[in-house]
C-alpha cells in the first residue's frame, strides 16, 4: 500500500494522481491522506519523467470538470474515487464518463450535485453584518457550508460586492476581500463572528414587507431554505410569526378586494 499525502485541494490531488498514474500504481494500492498544513509527499513517484506524467494525464474534459467539483465534497473517499475513475479512463475504458450508472461515475455525479447545491445555498444565505473599525466599515458573515466550497463561491461575492470590504468566516476556511484582492485564511470558530448589527432591523423590515401570505408554501420554503440555515439568518425570527398570521392576512386581503370591487 502506498501512502500518498496531499494538500486537500483539486490541484493537490491532480499533481499526486499524475505521478501515481505515470508510475503505474493501481488504485487499490494507494492510501490517500490529507496533509493539512504539512508538506505533501508522494511515495514512489518522484522518479517519474515529467514528459511521461504529462502524457498519461490527458483525460476527457468531462472528467476534469466533474473531478474539480467533486474534489470540493466533504467525503473523505473522494480522492480514491477520482483516482479510480482516472485509472479506468487510462486503462481500457476511455468512454467511462458516458456511463452514468457506473458506481464510480454515479458517485462523482452525486458529489458534484451536492457541491453545486452547497454553492447555491452559500450565495443565497450568507448575511453580512457591519463592523466598524479604524479603517472604516468591514462586513463580516458567518456561514457553515457542508462541503469545501468557499473558494468556488468567494469570487461571486467579490464581483457582487466589489466596493465593500468583507470577510466570510467558516469553520474550515475564511475568505476576505479588501476592495482589490481576494485571499483566504484558516477557519475560525463561530464566536469570532459578530452576532448582530443595526442593518438587521432594516433587513427584517424589508423581509416582512415583501412576505406574501397568499403565496406561502411551507414545505417548498423549508426545502429551498433548510432549517439548519435559519440560525444565521436575521429574518428567521420573523418566519414562524408570519406563517401563523398568513391565513388571517389572506382572509383580510380577500375581504378588502371584495369591498373595492364595483357593484355589478
User: For position 44, what pLDDT does the model report?
Assistant: 40
User: For position 263, what pLDDT does the model report?
Assistant: 65
In this structure, what C-alpha cell is assigned to residue 147? 462541503
User: For position 208, what pLDDT does the model report?
Assistant: 77
User: For position 36, what pLDDT does the model report?
Assistant: 65
User: For position 93, what pLDDT does the model report?
Assistant: 95
Residue 104 forms beta bridges with which residues?
A: none
User: For position 219, what pLDDT does the model report?
Assistant: 78
User: For position 77, what pLDDT does the model report?
Assistant: 96
User: For position 42, what pLDDT does the model report?
Assistant: 45
pLDDT in tens, the chain (264 residues): 889 999 999 999 999 999 999 999 999 999 999 986 544 444 444 444 444 444 455 788 899 999 999 999 999 999 999 999 999 999 999 999 999 999 999 999 999 999 999 999 999 999 898 888 878 899 999 999 999 999 999 999 999 999 999 999 999 999 999 999 999 999 999 888 887 766 677 667 777 777 777 777 777 777 777 777 777 777 777 888 888 888 888 788 788 777 777 666
- Distance between CA 189 and CA 9 in Å, rounded? 22
CB 245, CB 213: distance < 8 Å: yes
User: For position 254, what pLDDT does the model report?
Assistant: 80
Amino acid at each position: 500500500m502506498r501512502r500518498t499525502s496531499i494538500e486537500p485541494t483539486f490541484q493537490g490531488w491532480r499533481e499526486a494522481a499524475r505521478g501515481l498514474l505515470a508510475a503505474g500504481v493501481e488504485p487499490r494500492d494507494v492510501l490517500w491522506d490529507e496533509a493539512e498544513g504539512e508538506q505533501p509527499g508522494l511515495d514512489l513517484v518522484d522518479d517519474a519523467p515529467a514528459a511521461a506524467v504529462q502524457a498519461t494525464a490527458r483525460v476527457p474534459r468531462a472528467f476534469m470538470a466533474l473531478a474539480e467539483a467533486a474534489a470540493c465534497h466533504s467525503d473523505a473517499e473522494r480522492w480514491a474515487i477520482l483516482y479510480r475513475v482516472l485509472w479506468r479512463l487510462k486503462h481500457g475504458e476511455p468512454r467511462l464518463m458516458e456511463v452514468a450508472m457506473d458506481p464510480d461515475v454515479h458517485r462523482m455525479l452525486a458529489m458534484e450535485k451536492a457541491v453545486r447545491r452547497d454553492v447555491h445555498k452559500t450565495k443565497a444565505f450568507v448575511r453580512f453584518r457591519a463592523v466598524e473599525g479604524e479603517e472604516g466599515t468591514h462586513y463580516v458573515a458567518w456561514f457553515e457550508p457542508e462541503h469545501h466550497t468557499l473558494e468556488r463561491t468567494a469570487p461571486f461575492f467579490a464581483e457582487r460586492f466589489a466596493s465593500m470590504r468583507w470577510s466570510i468566516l467558516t469553520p474550515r476556511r475564511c475568505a476576505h476581500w479588501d476592495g482589490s484582492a481576494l485571499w483566504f485564511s484558516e477557519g475560525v470558530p463561530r464566536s469570532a463572528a459578530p452576532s448582530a448589527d443595526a442593518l438587521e432591523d432594516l433587513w427584517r423590515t424589508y423581509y416582512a414587507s415583501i412576505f406574501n401570505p397568499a403565496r406561502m408554501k411551507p414545505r417548498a420554503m423549508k426545502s429551498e431554505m433548510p432549517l439548519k440555515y435559519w440560525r444565521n439568518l436575521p429574518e428567521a425570527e420573523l418566519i414562524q410569526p408570519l406563517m401563523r398570521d398568513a391565513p388571517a392576512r389572506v382572509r383580510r386581503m380577500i375581504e378588502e378586494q371584495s369591498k373595492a370591487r364595483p357593484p355589478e
